[in-house]
Structure 1
Amino acid sequence: MRAMVYRGPYRVRVQEKDRPVIEHPNDAIVRVTRAAICGSDLHLYHGMMPDTRVGQTFGHEFVGVVDEVGPSVRNLKPGDRVMVPFNVYCGSCFFCARGLYSNCHNVNPNATAVGGIYGYSHTCGGYDGGQAEYVRVPFADVGPSLIPEWMDEEDAVLLTDALATGYFGAQLGDIVEGDVVAVFGAGPVGLYAAKSAWLMGAGRVIVIDHLDYRLEKAASFAHAETFNFAEYDDIVVQMKKTTDHLGADVVIDAVGAEADGNFLQHVTATKLKLQGGSPIALNWAIDSVRKGGTVSVMGAYGPMFSAVKFGDAMNKGLTLRMNQCPVKRQWPRLFEHIRNGYLKPSDIVTHRIPLEHIAEAYHIFSAKLDGCIKPLIVPTAA
């Protein structure tokens, strides 16, 4: 098959790779019809995540058609259209039984925190992802779901991570009616978090970024107030000014490891691979929320030892909530919101790029060229 493979920081290519095979009786092989590049894929692309190995195929957002199933699979059959959550999980361990699918205890021998993630370095299990013509899906009776007949596959692919994660970010904020919600980051997850905040009763939604075209999308798609942090000496001071000098009730960090940091942070992250990025966005969130408020962290981080303002969080009495999204748990409500017309996930898609041109797709998305907000990948097998 043809698949994207990682060759080192800023170097990806499409090449021939062995088509995946059934390795366990509960596996399925899915022919990918749509995949996406996620902002967290850029952390891998930029060399920010430890143990990202040459030869791995990225891609944790994908949908497709079941091509083959193992002998134990009961819920799927060849020809089914399926959406696959980015979490690889067993469905039966202590954590899965409590709906913490992203913390599955049985699918990742390399970590005690996160479970398995498709196409996301060997710190997340080493599973190949869906930026390919075919992908192996373990625990096929647990993770994948049939795409509803009424749902477009370009909406479905965004439910496999970006929309579910943005919604989860707003959910973790414990938003109550009338709350002021600030979102750092106007990428796909930030846009969905801002949009979801309204569904949970927010009285005011603010989005902060430094790219005008993304802020314009935040205004039109999420109906949010916007601030370009590059236009202010201190965006935290501006957030205080615009909230009666109190701070927002809820702040969502939808940026993660690639926020602008200092020289030491970038050397230890990108050069020495000692930590998974910069804590700038997280510190802005801690400083911008009011005392007694809630910070929800959706941005992807690797291991970090750099200076997170934990003392400030403690002294302000903040609630910090975070996790990788347990995707499938969000689907029932999101299905209803989409079916009722409150959400149209594919409204943020700006580019549809053939798999053969995925190196250019990564370059466009990484360099923020051509107004790129969310690129979808179309495999040749589709």
Structure 2
Amino acid sequence: MKSFLIIVLLMSPLLGFSQINDTLAKPIIPVKNVKLLNNIDITFDMRTELQAYTYRGGDRYYNGVQFENGFTALGFSAKLHDQVNFYFRNRFNRGSDIQSLDQLGSNIELAYVDFKVSPKLNLLVGKTYAFYGGYEYEFSALEVLEYNDIQSNALAYVTGAGITYQSMEDHKFGFQVLNSRTMLYEDLYGDEVAENIEEPIWPVAVVGNWRGNFFDGKFQTIYSLSYSNQVKNKGTYFFTLGNKYQNDNLTLMYDFNYSYEEVDTKGIVTNIFDNDSVAQDALYIENWLRAEYRFSPKLKGLLSLMTSSAYGKTGNSRNHLRTSYGMVPTLYYSPIKDFDIRFFLAYIGRYYDYSNYAVEQFNAADYNRNEVRIGIIAPLLLL
């Protein structure tokens, strides 16, 4: 592909720019700079699927079948200098409204520059991914058919600055200072404001993480600790332990997530209370497990299991409100050798059980959702 583009660029003066009255006397990219294309990557990632689903909850039941573009994104990365790299990604199936805080559309997931300050130290500036831990978060949404509750509702891409430091060959540390959201509080929540809520001078998030590598890469870790203040004097404490074991054809991953939120940022507890104000003192505790096994070069199977428990405070006591469960068995088939395009067949089962307290106090009702998906995942390198 790169060779074809280089030939087109080299021939362009002969094809279109040689006319006497043409104002472009020289090619757009001079021949001497064509080699710079080797430092540019353009990617098009897509996941398209046919879904068959059912929903059961209380006296409600519905089902359906439909095609869906689960993930569609165009990415651009470039090595601008031996010490400078640039990354950009536009996800097309996201809203494009300009966010009132970071002044970018929510469809722009990545737009940052990576400076190599020294052989061990990098500086990242722009709209980037938060350095949260865990392997569920490590996967792009292209690869994950169903996230657990925290990751389904977490804000992953925000504007700020961060550093990574490779202290030793097997240990890497990261630290970030970011906006804690992309929108101003009043634009995000509107009139749904709890008592004693004020906009902070800076809605900031501070994130630290550690990546470890042990036993020649067979065991790895991504741990993180973060604090963010969405409103004045009230914030979120988020702690994640991500663990990975890999040996031959088997890969096991386990994440533990703990998020205490003085103002509910995930919205689950707020929706259960349903009292036209943002819930306070919410707590989420999660477990996530993923097992992958490669049966052959073309066939791989995986199983994801997840639980998430939500707690809310009313009066002086915190009560368990809901536990959700999920399972996602999937088969991948890769028909082309040395080319990453995958067909998949998956079942997604999600079950939501409310506590007796939530049923009695807030009229909550258990429900479940089941899906079968057949589709294709194609992370395509265009250039």
Highest CA radius of gyration, 1 or 2?
2
TM range, smaller chain: under 0.3
TM, length-normalised to structure 2: 0.26
If each structure's helix is expressed as a fraction of its own residues, which one has the higher value? 1
TM-score by length of 1: 0.26
